[in-house]
Structure 1
Amino acid sequence: MFPRVAWVHRGLLRSCARLPVCMSSSGIGQKGILANQVAVVTGSTDGIGFAIARRLAQDGARVVISSRKQQNVDRAVAALQGEGLSVVGTVCHVGKAEDRERLVTMVLEHCGGLDFLVCNAGVNPLVGSTLGASEQVWDKILEVNVKAPALMLSQLLPHMEKRGKGVVILVSSIAAYIPSVELGPYNVSKTALLGLTRTLSLELAPKGIRVNCLVPGVIETDFSKVIYKNEAFWNIVKENYKLQRIGQPEDCAGLVSFLCSPDASYITGESISVAGFSPHL
């Protein structure tokens, strides 16, 4: 039995347990550059993940969202289906094998396959130095931020292969390029995703599957409050990198949709910053 999934129709919140959940809430075929393709976005009930899920659905994809708490999933699904978008969701803590398996089963049973996987879920249980982190903190950060995307992809890959194509987007952080001393192990985990992107892009290219990495800068979300609420740090960032504003989750969403689209069919292995400046030469 899957967790309860909410949908909106004529202003009423109802259970959709017995409905073909990957159809749009209006029952009308989807239109757009990603029409009739299926996307999974982890960590997608708020912030950057939510904005990505909304944009992919607006561009025609049928989107499966997930996060660790049922109430957050219900709220996000209701909001997006209320906009007439083809969105469903389930609880999934990406660090738990049973939750990943449930997500995969839901995608296969109700959507029939998968075209896009966006790995956005991440954690940072520590604000402090690298060498001050406990073994438990290291395990949690690496398990969720690095291992889980690879394991999730390994479970979904056979179903992408059946379609002869696919797109994977890993979500790193500007902390991979410009580490903060307050985010020790988190910096390391996000740097590891850059390497994972390059490695997977080579392994999966023969299968027609592209792998790219979104590298958000300072984006106004609850997750990044430790950065932009630190007035001294934020002032230094603005001065050094000439930022004119803080980023918004929607600033990241369009890039992900582009990378999933046919327009990006010759782009793989790239890590692209959305930061208001460039950390590269």
Structure 2
Amino acid sequence: MQTNVMDLSGKVAIVTGASKGIGESCAQLLAAHGAKVVVSSRKQEAVDEVAQSILKAGGEATAIAAHMGNLEHIQALATQTKEKYGRIDIIVNNAATNPVFGPTEQCSPDAFDKIMDVNVKACFELAKASLPTMKAQKSGSIINMSSIGGIRPEPGLGIYSVSKAALIMLTKVMAKEWGMYGIRANVICPGLIQTKFSEALWKNEKITQHFMNQLPIARLGQPDDIGKLTLFLASDASAYSTGSVFTSDGGFLI
């Protein structure tokens, strides 16, 4: 019997949106449990900093800047990871965008396309670019970062919620079609997590109180709350889980 089901030694992980917040936590935790982590985000300096902190802690990491709205960058991210480490075992599709906050009718066509391109299409394209490697290995774990907004839309986050709902279904499609190759796909739906990305929400006293009034676990979430769940889904501890939707929201949706 395997005694350390969280051991990721020999595994290679790509984490997008990894320069801060949830993505950084995921990268740090995966590396701490033995994975070689490719830290990716838009700015090279930012991912260099995270990779260096992993190296200083005794882990292994490579920083590769990539804009997830650019198909060439996405393909290069998968290609460079394979060239560097020879395999791809774990993908954490965490990068996301939400350039609008307010009534849905105020979302412009350009903003709509940007949200869908980064929040849905990029996740598909990175997984697809990594698919030949995972098929050859007969193994892989894809972890897509959705939101509770993908289950129940929240005011001001209309099209963002649509994109996150689409990501939930995309995950299920991946699980259904790619399971025959030994590839698992699961999706995490965080609640309100205190990150820079969600700062406009948790710094708004009215919104924060709305959440707090409905939280059985009476606190806002932290990046490590999501990082730990990501570690579980990346590891053999979740070997029989695929196509599953995991909420981590302090009980908000109950």
TM-score range, shorter chain: over 0.9
Per the TM alignment, residue 240 of structure 1 is displaced from its structure 2 partner at its CA by: 2.5
What's the RMSD between the two structures over aligned residues? 1.2
Q: Which residue of 2 aligns with 1:91?
A: 65
Output the CA distance in 2 between the equivalents of 1:269 and 1:124. 25
* 1:142 counterpart letter in structure 2: M
59-68 or 93-102, which deviates more: 93-102
* 2:193 counterpart letter in structure 1: I
Residues 1:33 and 2:15 aligned together: no
Count of matched residue pairs: 249
Counterpart selection for 1:225 from 192, 196, 199: 199
Counterpart selection for 1:51 from 25, 32, 49: 25
Counterpart selection for 2:112 from 138, 144, 150: 138
Q: Give TM-score, length-normalised by structure 1.
A: 0.86
Counterpart selection for 2:169 from 191, 195, 199: 195
Counterpart selection for 2:44 from 54, 66, 70: 70
Counterpart selection for 2:214 from 211, 228, 240: 240
Per the TM alignment, residue 243 of structure 1 is displaced from its structure 2 partner at its CA by: 4.2
Per the TM alignment, residue 242 of structure 1 is displaced from its structure 2 partner at its CA by: 3.7
* 1:103 counterpart letter in structure 2: L
Judge conservation of contact 1:64–1:87 (CA < 8 Å) in 2.
yes
Show structure 1 runs of 5+ residues with no match: 1-31
Residues 1:186 and 2:179 aligned together: no
43-52 or 182-191, which deviates more: 182-191
Output the CA distance in 2 between the equivalents of 1:102 and 1:197. 22
Describe the SS at the equivalent of 1:117.
Answer: strand
Q: Which residue of 1 aligns with 2:53?
A: 79
Output the CA distance in 1 between the equivalents of 2:179 and 2:213. 41
Show structure 2 runs of 5+ residues with no match: 1-5
Per-residue deviation, residues 8-35 of structure 1 (Å, max 9, x unmatched):
xxxxxxxxxxxxxxxxxxxxxxxx6110
Q: Which residue of 2 aligns with 1:115?
A: 89
Per the TM alignment, residue 260 of structure 1 is displaced from its structure 2 partner at its CA by: 1.5
Output the CA distance in 1 between the equivalents of 2:180 and 2:40. 29
Per-residue deviation, residues 87-140 of structure 1 (Å, max 9, x unmatched):
111110111122112212211111001111110000000011112111000000
Output the CA distance in 2 between the equivalents of 1:37 and 1:130. 41
- Seen in structure 2, the aligned counterparts of structure 1 residues 125 and 175 have a Cα distance that, compared at 3 Å, is same
Output the CA distance in 2 between the equivalents of 1:109 and 1:96. 20
Q: Which runs of 4+ in 1 moved over 3 A?
A: none
Judge conservation of contact 1:56–1:63 (CA < 8 Å) in 2.
yes
Judge conservation of contact 2:120–2:167 (CA < 8 Å) in 1.
yes
Judge conservation of contact 1:237–1:243 (CA < 8 Å) in 2.
no
Q: Which residue of 1 aligns with 2:239?
A: 265
Judge conservation of contact 2:100–2:107 (CA < 8 Å) in 1.
yes
Describe the SS at the equivalent of 1:78.
Answer: helix
Counterpart selection for 2:147 from 173, 178, 195: 173
* 1:218 counterpart letter in structure 2: L
Per the TM alignment, residue 150 of structure 1 is displaced from its structure 2 partner at its CA by: 0.4
Judge conservation of contact 1:68–1:93 (CA < 8 Å) in 2.
yes
Output the CA distance in 2 between the equivalents of 1:55 and 1:105. 24
